[in-house]
Amino acid sequence: MRVRKKPWADKYIKNHGDYIVTDPKNWLGKWQDRFAKVQPLNVEVGIGKGRFIIETARANPDINYIGIELQTSVIATALRSFMADPLPNVQFVLTDGANLDELFYENEIKKIFLNFSDPWPKKRHAKRRLTSPLFLKTYNHVLDQDGDIEFKTDNRGLFEYTLVTMNNFPMKFDYVSLDLHHSPENESNIETEYEQKFSPKGPIYKLIVHFTAS
């Protein structure tokens, strides 16, 4: 989906450098310095308008969160929402989520969230999906030994593809839902803006998985 450029975005990001990083490779090994306390580190790849990471961080003050987003206008919108009531355990990073292994050390991340990422439905674009084997290999590198991935989508094709690719890795499925919003677990579910808008049109699929020894 094409995002309309926001002319104020670049300046807004520049003026809020305490909460957003535009040179992430310079922070390799130093991410905890950007937070008020050293705590377990969770990462969301593709943050949308920021509701999920903000509300999740608010509910879990004992965890540090990094939201990664490639599009300037998208991350600026999330940052503006965040600045209405900033939290000490959230940082935003303007970069491509494909490069996690260049931004984080091995075993540095406790959890990765993949929420409603682009399904890239054409077969020739499969390697761009955030659950393609190339991405899974990267996640395996940066997640700690007990770390996991939480994945949500409303796209059945992407969900089925993800089941297959994860099943071909040394991974264990801890949770699988074919209709999250009609399951008991939905009571603790924090919705993204996209999820709020589109969940009435069909089921939300969710997975929680972790890597095992190969």
Catalytic, out of 23, 33, 85, 118: 118
Q: Has 118 been annotated as catalytic?
A: yes
- Among the listed residues 112, 102, 177, 184, the one whose alpha carbon sits nearest the alpha carbon of residue 150: 112
Q: What is the 3-state secondary structure (H, E, C) of 85-154?
A: CCCCCEEEEECCHHHHHHHCCCCCEEEEEEECCCCCCCHHHHHHCCCCHHHHHHHHHHEEEEEEEEEEEC
How far, in Å, CA of 132 to CA of 28, rounded?
Answer: 24
User: β-strand 41-45 against 109-115: which pairing, if any?
Assistant: parallel
Secondary structure element (H or E) that encloses residue 175, with its range: strand 171-177
Instruction: Give every CB contact of residue 186 below 8 A, 6+ residues apart in sequence.
Output: 180
How far is it, in rounded angstroms, from Cα 44 to Cα 52? 9
- List residues with catalytic annotation: 118
